[in-house]
A and B are shown apart, each in its own frame.
Chain A
Amino acid sequence: MLRKAHLNLIARHSLKHGIRGGAGLVSIALTLLIGLFLAQCAIGPLERVEKSVDFAADRTPGIDNDQRNFAKQKANDQIVKIAVKGMEMAMDPSTDQLDYLTEEKPAMVSVMLVLLFLATPLFACLGGFNQTAGDIGSKGLRFLLFRTERANIFWGRFFGTLGFTALVNLLLFGILTIYMVAKLNVHPKDDMAMWMLQGYLRMMVFTLPYLALCAWISSAMESAFGSLAISLLVAFFLPLFLGIAGSFEDVVKYAQYATPWGWKYWLLEPLGPKFLGGLAAMFGFSALFLWLGHRNFNRRDL
């Protein structure tokens, strides 16, 4: 039986001590490091080209500010075009989706979101691998098992981990938004901030099934390291393999739809049936993994 008070208590305790044994700190550090690196891949060329234009303009007599800004704009447009081309190759979007991501929304933010989506399963695994496995191994759960029902422990830990991951991702998106708004001149600042906020929410929806998958794997293991290894293998390396193999073989490409990975770019569609389909897929996978995890945790020896 689920008890709201117990769920709340366990989730808050889990969130507060999410950095259990230092694993949480490693998760925060790696998420920020990888996230900022990926963002730099998108933003870096723009910064460098602006610096180059400034450098050239400073050494060319008779250039006024308007001409300098015009030159920057032209150079930035070229970079954006190259970035969008890269994004097209990575996600193979429909014309509608491409227009949505590059015309309706700030294109450079879209490019960055696509890059961050590629790393989402990795971030989810880093934050969610040790929901229960470590405490099953150390038998630490035994202090809770006669004080509350197993369901409260499983779901409480899951919600605590979800909160922890949401905060880490919020920190990443916060840093990126502030940086882009302060530094980038290619899009209106309000548009960039708003699309980043939406991107954060969409990425959290994509994170959900992976955290659920980690909850299931974690409930089946007795070692935090084992749980991390299996989670990474199933959640990150398998889709990566399918993604690479899919570019050579269509059948493999469609096999991706058996995992949340295949549906990820549906979350970057304009609001409409396809976007809703993406949401349904993510919630469906989450429900399936959580049900399997809950069932396993409820039946097993702890």
Chain B
Amino acid sequence: MGVESPAVSIKNVVKIFGKQRAVDDVSFDIPRGSVFGLLGPNGAGKTTLFSIMANFLRPSSGRIEVLGVDVERIGELRGKLTILPQDALYQANVPVREQLEFFALLNGMTKAQASEETTRVLTMVGLLEAQKKNARALSHGMTKRLGIAQAFMGNPEVIVLDEPTAGLDPVNAAAVRRLINDIKVKAKATLIVSSHNLAEIQELCAAVAILHNGKLVEHKSVAELTEHKGNVRMTFGRKLTEEEVGKIRAQPGVGGVNVDTQNEYTLELVLAQGQTTEQLIGVLVSELARGGLIPRSVKEGASLEEKFLEATASTNQAS
């Protein structure tokens, strides 16, 4: 029996727009059944790579295989590969239900199946009540949920979500994340997600690739990428004052403090001889608690954001 092909295999893909190399010789595999994150700053080439994956764009060279099939033969992936494209507009004057039924029919379903499946996905994203509305009447958040509904129609094996929470308010973004988490548990599909929200990617994904200026600068599991024996990441219920940060910095065993986000801080640990990380963290937490600073969570390792900034900064310097 042959080895099962990866969900997605990207082989030396190059995409050139005019004089700009939007994707520059990128190669990596995404294993089946995983939740994979694609990261990169604006213009890094994430959407371009996704677009080549879904056959929207033709690569200048190289190729992408999805489930062992070259995406040039996209017809063979019908119903197996779906995507939530970024910024794509629906037909403005066609009711939501009719658009989804049309997609389901193209996926190969019968009329009855298409109708049933449309009801299922609309219920899943909470849009059943809006089914008769024209797409133009939907809010931004509803449109995003409609996009997720169409991406989860049928039983796709590979689902690509290009910035599923971009432009959403925190409530809607959290709802979309919950949806993805639910599906992650229920479906056996491979999910590929791109997002600017690194905490979101860290929460959802098992592995990530980081693109910068069209080049692949990192491709590792999230655990591997954020593993750093000498660091500990603490989240507090609020932003700390300069004075409080100073207190942490002054603790024995703390070499430095980096502010990740408003509430997140990465502490560089300096272990004494014979001391383990766990011991030092224990001492630190109890010392901080004594001073009234009780962290909500303590995680060993660096944040994905820190690693992301590190990876993209080093390529900036190199270029």
Q: For the complex, give the distance between the alpha carbons of A262 and B91 in Å.
A: 38
* The 4 nearest A-B residue pairs measured at CB: A139-B88, A138-B89, A147-B106, A142-B85
The one of B54, B91, B107 that contacts A142, using a Cβ cutoff of 8 Å: B54
Task: Report B's interface with A, CB cutoff 8 A.
Answer: 51, 54-58, 74-75, 77-79, 81-83, 85, 87-94, 99, 102-103, 105-107, 150
| Chain A residues within an 8 Å CB radius of B99 | 143
Shortest CB–CB separation between residue A55 and chain B, in angstroms? 50
Residues of chain B contacted by A3 (CB below 8 angstroms):
75
Q: State the CA gap A149–B82 with chains docked (Å).
A: 14
A6, A17, A138, A301: which contacts B58 (Cβ < 8 A)? Answer: A301
Bound complex: CA A13 to CA B90 (Å):
14
A144 to chain B: closest residue by CB: B106
> Can you report 12 residue pairs joining A to B where beta carbons are below 8 Å apart?
A13-B102, A17-B91, A17-B94, A138-B89, A139-B87, A139-B88, A139-B89, A140-B91, A142-B88, A145-B74, A146-B83, A149-B74
CB pair A146 B54 closer than 8 Å:
yes
* Most-contacted residue by chain B among A17, A20, A142, A301 (CB, 10 A): A142
Question: Does residue A9 face the partner (Cβ distance < 8 Å to B)?
Answer: yes
A21 at the interface (CB under 8 A from B): yes
A148 interfacial contact with B, CB 8 Å: yes
Interface pair B103/A147, CB less than 8 Å apart: yes
Is the C-beta of A302 less than 8 angstroms from some C-beta in chain B? yes
- With both beta carbons as reference points, the residue of chain A lying nearest to B75 in the complex is identified as A149
A1 CB within 8 Å of chain B: yes
Q: Are B90 and A302 in contact (CB under 8 A)?
A: no
| Chain A residues within an 8 Å CB radius of B102 | 9, 13
Tell which of A1, A9, A138, A144 touches B75, judged by Cβ atoms closer than 8 Å. A1
Q: Which residues of A contact B81 (CB under 8 A)?
A: 146
Residues of A within 8 A of B94 (CB): 17
- A149 surroundings in chain B (CB, below 8 A): 74-75
The DSSP consensus for interface residues of chain B is loop
Interface size class of chain A, counting residues whose CB lies under 8 Å from the partner chain: 20 to 34
**Nearest chain B CB to A193 CB, angstrom units:** 36
Taking a contact as CB atoms under 8 Å apart, the answer to whether B56 and A138 are in contact is no
> Assuming A149-B75, A301-B57, is B93 touching A17 (CB within 8 A)?
yes
Q: Which residue of B lies closest to A153 (CB)?
A: B106
**Within the assembled complex, what's the spacing in Å between the Cα atoms of A302 and B57?**
6
Chain A residues closer than 8 Å to B82, beta-carbon distance = 146
Q: Shortest distance in angstroms between A14's beta carbon and chain B's nearest beta carbon?
A: 10
Smallest CB separation, B236 vs chain A (Å): 42
User: How far is A145 from B78 in the complex, measured between Cα atoms in Å?
Assistant: 10
Q: In whole angstroms, what is the CA distance A302 to B83 when docked?
A: 14
A74 at interface (Cβ–Cβ under 8 A)?
no
Smallest distance from the beta carbon of A299 to chain B beta carbons, Å?
A: 7
| Distance, CA A138 to CA B150, complexed state (A) | 17
Interface string of A97-141 (1 = CB under 8 A from B): 000000000000000000000000000000000000001001110
Residue in chain B with minimal CB distance to A6: B106
Residues of A near B58 (CB, < 8 A) are: 299-301
Could you say which residues of chain A place their CB within 8 Å of the CB of B107? Answer: 147
CB neighbours of A138 from chain B (8 A): 88-89
The verdict on A143 contacting B88 (CB below 8 Å), with A1-B75, A9-B102, A13-B102 known, is: yes
Q: Which residues of B contact A147 (CB under 8 A)?
A: 78-79, 103, 106-107
Q: What mask results when residues 263 to 302 of chain A are scored 1 for a CB within 8 Å of chain B, else 0?
A: 0000000000000000000000000000000000001111
- A49 vs chain B, min Cβ distance (A): 47
Residues of A within 8 A of B56 (CB): 139, 142, 145, 301-302
A140 pairs with B88, CB closer than 8 A: yes
CB-CB under 8 A from A19, the residues of chain B are 93
